[in-house]
């Protein structure tokens, strides 16, 4: 007898239990490896030492401070590049000749690792928030603009015919037809470029900042405190996942669902 309600509940429980089991297994493995001294303690910190350094960093207030610093830089860089990249993409998507003119250059910069900009970032913006924000911007602006552009260029022409018949022009056409029809793809692009920026922030803070999660790892390395480095790594991974889950909520908006269900 298959009871559909039971089957759904079973799948839901499995969705929680299975990843938890993998996590527990992973931590157990870590315990065993460090307990049996398979690697020397300075090369692989034990779980206990990581927990201890968590406590220390937290009590010193450094961890919270670094989290806020990193989140702030990513947020500013990301919002800046979305605010400029998405409109640029919308414009390029609508103008064939502009596309022809600018796409090769945009692609060039997209494939240029944002880390290559580090010397310039420091020379132009010195130390602090600005170089990190600049690097986040350089890392996310081009993929966002290009993704928006190709989404616009592939809008089915029928939408524009309908729009014409119902007298949408100018600003109305842009905000009520063009933008909503690319929104699902833009949200996907936002998630991807958020992922990039979360990776880039760590590298950016290693060289251009005096605080932040990346700087925390750099400090740990300088002090040969790998336990502290692991504690920062855990925070980076967990925060990255958490914020992506938040962004994923955007795909549940009722007026973009259509883009994910065809």
258 binds other proteins (CB under 8 A): yes
3-state secondary structure of 261: coil
262 binds other proteins (CB under 8 A): yes
Q: Whose Cβ is closer to other proteins: residue 23's or residue 162's?
A: 162
Residue 169 has φ and ψ, to the nearest 5°, of: -140, 165
Tokens (6 digits) for 144: 């966002």
- Rule CB under 8 A: choose which of 26, 108, 166, 234 binds other proteins: 166
Q: For residues 218 and 242, what is the distance between their CA atoms, to the nearest angstrom?
A: 23
257 binds other proteins (CB under 8 A): yes
165 binds other proteins (CB under 8 A): yes
- To 10 degrees, what angle do helices 47-60 and 226-249 make? 70
Q: Whose Cβ is closer to other proteins: residue 111's or residue 165's?
A: 165
162 binds other proteins (CB under 8 A): yes
- Rule CB under 8 A: choose which of 60, 164, 223, 237 binds other proteins: 164
From the CB of 254, what's the least distance to other proteins, in Å? 7
Q: Whose Cβ is closer to other proteins: residue 167's or residue 249's?
A: 167
183-202 residues in contact with other proteins (CB under 8 A) are 183
Tokens (6 digits) for 57: 């960093």
Considering only the stretches 33-41, 55-63, 117-125, 176-184, report the one whose residues sit in contact with other proteins under the rule CB under 8 A.
176-184
- Rule CB under 8 A: choose which of 87, 128, 180, 195 binds other proteins: 180
Q: Whose Cβ is closer to other proteins: residue 33's or residue 162's?
A: 162
From the CB of 162, what's the least distance to other proteins, in Å? 6
254 binds other proteins (CB under 8 A): yes
124 binds other proteins (CB under 8 A): no
167 binds other proteins (CB under 8 A): yes
Q: Is the dihedral of CA 233, 235, 238, 239 positive or negative?
A: negative
Q: Is the dihedral of CA 102, 106, 107, 112 positive or negative?
A: positive
Q: For residues 99 and 125, what is the distance between their CA atoms, to the nearest angstrom?
A: 31
Q: For residues 189 and 86, what is the distance between their CA atoms, to the nearest angstrom?
A: 10
How many residues of this chain bind other proteins (CB under 8 A)? 21
Q: For residues 44 and 186, what is the distance between their CA atoms, to the nearest angstrom?
A: 41
Residue 128 has φ and ψ, to the nearest 5°, of: 130, -155
Tokens (6 digits) for 201: 């922030």
Residue 224 has φ and ψ, to the nearest 5°, of: 55, 40
Q: What are the residues binding other proteins (CB under 8 A)? A: 156, 158-159, 161-162, 164-167, 177, 180-181, 183, 254-259, 261-262
């Amino acid at each position: 007898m298959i009871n559909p309600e039971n089957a759904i509940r079973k799948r839901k429980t499995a969705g929680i239990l299975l990843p938890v089991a993998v996590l527990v297994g992973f931590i157990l493995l870590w315990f065993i490896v460090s307990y049996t001294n398979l690697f020397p303690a300075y090369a692989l910190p034990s779980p206990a030492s990581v927990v201890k350094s968590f406590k220390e960093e937290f009590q010193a207030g450094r961890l919270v401070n670094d989290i806020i610093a990193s989140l702030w830089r990513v947020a500013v860089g990301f919002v800046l590049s979305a605010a400029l990249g998405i409109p640029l993409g919308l414009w390029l998507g609508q103008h064939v000749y502009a596309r022809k003119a600018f796409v090769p250059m945009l692609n060039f910069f997209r494939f240029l690792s944002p880390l290559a900009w580090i010397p310039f970032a420091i020379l132009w913006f010195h130390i602090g928030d600005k170089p990190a924000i600049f690097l986040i911007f350089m890392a996310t602006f081009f993929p966002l603009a290009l993704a928006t552009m190709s989404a616009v260029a592939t809008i089915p022409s029928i939408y524009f015919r309908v729009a014409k018949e119902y007298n949408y022009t100018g600003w109305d056409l842009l905000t009520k037809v063009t933008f909503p029809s690319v929104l699902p793809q833009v949200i996907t692009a936002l998630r991807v470029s958020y992922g990039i920026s979360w990776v880039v922030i760590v590298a950016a803070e290693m060289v251009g900042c005096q605080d932040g999660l990346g700087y925390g790892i750099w400090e740990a390395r300088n002090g040969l405190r790998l336990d502290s480095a692991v504690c920062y790594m855990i925070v980076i991974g967990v925060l990255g996942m958490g914020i992506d889950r938040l962004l994923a909520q955007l795909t549940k908006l009722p007026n973009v669902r259509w883009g994910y269900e065809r």
